[in-house]
Amino acid sequence: MTKTQYKKWYLKQLRAYERTTSSIVKKHLKNTLIKVAKQKPTQENYKILLEKEINNKAILKMLLEVYETVGVIHGNKIYRGINDNTMTVKAFSPALFIKSFGRAVFEFLTLFGGENITSIRDTFVEAVINYIAERNDTGKSIQVITNEMVRKFGTKTGLYKWQIMRITRTETGAAANFASNKAMKDADVVVDKMWISADDHRVRNGSSKGEYNHEAMNGITIPYDKYFEVPQNEGDPDRVKHPIDIRGKAGNIINCRCTTAPVPRRDKNGRLVLKKNN
**Distance of alpha carbon 199 from alpha carbon 222, whole angstroms:** 19
Give the alpha-carbon dihedral of 77, 255, 34, 105, to 10 degrees: 40
Give the CA radius of gyration of the chain: 21
Counted residue by residue, the chain has a size of 278
Stretch among 18-32, 101-115, 211-225 having the lowest mean pLDDT: 101-115
Task: Answer yes or no: is pLDDT of 168 > 60.
Answer: yes
Q: Is residue 213 part of a domain?
A: no
Contact call for residues 168 and 65 (beta carbons, < 8 A): no
Q: Is residue 92 part of a domain?
A: yes
Mean pLDDT of the chain: 88
* φ/ψ of residue 192, rounded to 5: -95, 165
* φ/ψ of residue 222, rounded to 5: -140, 165
**Distance of alpha carbon 27 from alpha carbon 30, whole angstroms:** 5
Q: Is residue 45 part of a domain?
A: yes
The domain total for the chain is 1
Mean pLDDT of 161-178: 93
Residue 96 confidence (pLDDT): 59
Residue 16 confidence (pLDDT): 94
pTM: 0.86
Residue 198 confidence (pLDDT): 85
Span between the terminal Cα atoms of the chain, in Å: 26
Q: Is residue 205 part of a domain?
A: no
240: buried, middle or exposed (CB in 10 Å: 19+, 13-18, 0-12)?
Answer: buried
In which band, very low, low, confident or very high, does the pLDDT at 209 lie, cut at 50, 70 and 90?
confident
3-class state of residue 236 by DSSP: strand
Stretch among 73-87, 107-121, 130-144, 165-179 having the lowest mean pLDDT: 73-87
Residue 274 confidence (pLDDT): 84
**Which residues on neighbouring strands pair with residue 263, listed in sequence order?**
192
Residue 4 confidence (pLDDT): 85
* Residue 52 domain boundaries: 3-188
Mean pLDDT of 5-21: 92
